[in-house]
Amino acid sequence: MLTFEGQKIQGSPNIVSKLTSLPFQQCHHNITTVDCQPSGPAGGMLVFVSGNLQLAGETHALKFSQMFHLMPTPQGSFYVLNDIFRLNYA
């Protein structure tokens, strides 16, 4: 599940559709903080990221916060179970 600016989107096809429909083609992420915590007996990880987004053609960066809940796969990698994204308006 993805929560993007308060809109809840569930399922991979719907999430891909949302992300590909955003009104810009390029975005540079400048990450300023990353905090991680283990999550539950299955070996998951909570990751909280904050920083700035710079859209192509824009002069001012946008501050953002994002939380990922990563879950392990039997093959030794991770997948994103939950993702929460917010722009931080000052």
pTM recorded for the entire structure:
0.82
pLDDT in tens, 7-20: 999 999 999 999 88
Residue 56 CA to residue 37 CA, distance in Å, equals: 33
pLDDT in tens, 37-66: 999 888 999 999 999 999 888 888 999 999
Averaged confidence pLDDT in the chain:
91
pLDDT in tens, 78-88: 999 999 999 98
Q: 32 with 51: CB under 8 angstroms?
A: yes
pLDDT higher than 80, residue 25:
no
DSSP secondary structure string for all residues of 44-85: EEEEEEEEEEEETT-SS-EEEEEEEEEEE-TTS-EEEEEEEE
Instruction: Choose among 90, 9, 7, 6: nearest CA to 52.
Output: 90
Instruction: Judge: domain 2-87, CATH 3.30.1330.10.
Output: no
